[in-house]
Amino acid sequence: MRRFLRPLLVTALAAGLTATAAPSLAQTQNHPDREDRFKRVAYFIQWGIYSGRNYQVKDVDTSGAAAELTHINYAFGNVSEDGGCVSADSWADWEIPMKAEQSVDGVADAEGQPLRGNLNQLKKLKAKHPGLRVQISLGGWSGSKYFSDAVLTPESRAKLAASCVDLWIKGNLPGLPAGTGAGVFDGIDLDWEWPGSAGNDGNIIRPEDKQNFTLFAAELRRQLDEVNPRLQMSAYLPAAPAKIEAGFEVKEVFKILDFATVQGYDLHGPWELRTGHNGNLYTDPRDPSPVKYSVDATVRHYLANGAPARKIVVGVPSYGQGWTGVKSKGNGLYAAATGPAPSSGVAGTEDYKTLAKKPGKRFRDVRTGTVWLYDGNDFWSYDDPWTVLQKALYIRTKGLGGSMMWSIDQDDEKATLTSTLYRVLR
């Protein structure tokens, strides 16, 4: 694998190709007869439609991304304290009236129209791109608090599954006519962060979460099949071996899922006071951390524990992690830092579309599949088209299931990262 990827990238870079230019179709050695062999998943964040980001479902279409994706995971639906599926933001989901300029088909929502908001726009997006599947993603970092309670007993698991199917698949949205939201979602994505181990502060955790995750996945699969066996189910799984071992019966879970997206980012970040790589493809032996993470190490761990390669979908970040107060005579890598770097949003995190234009010196390590930006004080680790290309070639060569991006709004207006993945993984 490495003998193939590294010379390819070194040759391309030596030829004078810029780090921000998307690789051409010819460079990716695409085979048109294998179209859509791979899954190309991207998360769309529910809250991204507001003024801070102003990224609408329409933008997935106008950027060209919709034509290059197989799945959109809509983030997030919540699990409530009483063990049911609920909307995290019904205003964004189905209540907010969309203006004509925000609408996929250019038609504004009418007064009194039952289904509005993101769900109506996703329905329009699917009508324009019939091959595109949309899944509701349940949980997330801040929405996983009550998962453990909700899957604790056979009765609670059946209740949660029935609630999720009723709300998101059958489309029985509160306060609206029965079935108003039907046809929006083609499946359910489980994003419990994390069964059996620490996630967000306040999450309920039990040792039996590991087995109960499997049991709930089986119950949800059963109830989805009763509606339509073609409905899909996926899950987002962690990179850390300790979290995998604590929370997931890997072989059994993969038998139930259509596919799983595995964490390929947040391997290092400004919660540590030393710089590192956000999403390195290969393990760096120079990394001074006690546990040396990489995408490749994560994939190999899942394969060793019985996951079929074709069901492993690799997470790719469209954002970077940043540190400030980094003083180094070299390139800033693995140097001490004082905290998160300032950004346009949450300190320490920045979109690819912003980092691509950020001044400073860029460094690249083809051996680990990484790029980073260092200006003498701030250090940013992120993915650009060349690191994404290397990951896509890795996915293809390893016979894995495809790619997943968190999140689509962080790509640039031309969907450069999305397009790079598409050119290889189809």
Distance of alpha carbon 20 from alpha carbon 254, whole angstroms: 36
Q: How confident is the model at residue 11 (pLDDT cuts 50, 70, 90)?
A: very low
Nearest to 272 by CA among 329, 336, 210: 336
Place of tokens 């993603």: 137
Q: What is the pLDDT of residue 231?
A: 98
Question: Facing residues of 365 across strands?
Answer: 370
* Residue 2 reports pLDDT greater than 60: no
User: Is 276 within the bounds of a domain?
Assistant: yes
**Which DSSP symbol is given to 152?**
S
Residue 267 tokens read as 């391997």
Chain position carrying tokens 């939201």: 181
- Structurally, the chain folds into a number of domains equal to 1
Backbone φ, ψ for residue 233 (5° rounding): -140, 130
> Which CATH number characterizes residue 301's domain?
3.20.20.80
Q: Is residue 358 part of a domain?
A: no
pLDDT at 9 over 60: no
pLDDT digits (tens, 9 = 90+) for 346-377: 999 999 999 999 999 999 999 999 999 999 99
What digits encode the pLDDT tens for the residues 15-72? 333 334 544 433 333 333 334 589 999 999 999 999 999 999 999 999 999 999 999 9
pLDDT confidence of 225, banded at 50, 70, 90?
A: very high
Residue with tokens 């908001």: 117
- Show the DSSP H helices in 113-190 as ranges: 117-128, 147-150, 154-164
In-domain check, residue 354:
no
pLDDT of residue 23: 46
The pLDDT value given to residue 36: 58
CA of residue 185 relative to chain centroid, distance: 17
Q: What is the pLDDT of residue 8?
A: 45
Q: Cβ distance 94 to 119 under 8 Å?
A: yes
- 377-418 confidence digits (pLDDT tens): 999 999 999 999 999 999 999 999 999 999 999 999 999 999
Residue 214 lies in a domain: yes
CA 273 to chain centroid, in Å, comes to 25
Find the domain containing 287 and state its range.
32-318+382-424
- Residues annotated as catalytic are 193
In the block, tokens 């079935």 appear at: 179
The separation between the first and the last C-alpha atoms of the chain, rounded to the nearest angstrom, is: 19
Closest CA to 104 of 41, 62, 141, 58: 58
Using the predicted structure, report yes or no on whether residue 425 has a pLDDT greater than 80.
yes
325 in a domain, yes or no? no
Residue 333 lies in a domain: no
Q: Report whether 256 contacts 307 (CB < 8 A).
A: no
Buried b (16+ CB within 10 A) or exposed e, 316-346: bbbbbbbbbebebeeebbbbebeebbebeee
CA-based torsion, 77, 80, 84, 87: positive or negative = negative
In a domain, 368, yes or no: no
Mean pLDDT of the chain, nearest integer? 93
Q: What is the CA radius of gyration of the chain?
A: 21
Helix (H, G, I), strand (E, B) or coil at 74: strand
Residue 243 lies inside a defined structural domain of this protein = yes
Place of tokens 């032996």: 285
User: What separation in angstroms does the CA of 266 have from each of 253, 314, 348?
Assistant: 23, 13, 11
- Residues 276-298: tens digit of each pLDDT: 999 999 999 999 999 999 999 99
Give percent of the chain above pLDDT 90. Answer: 91
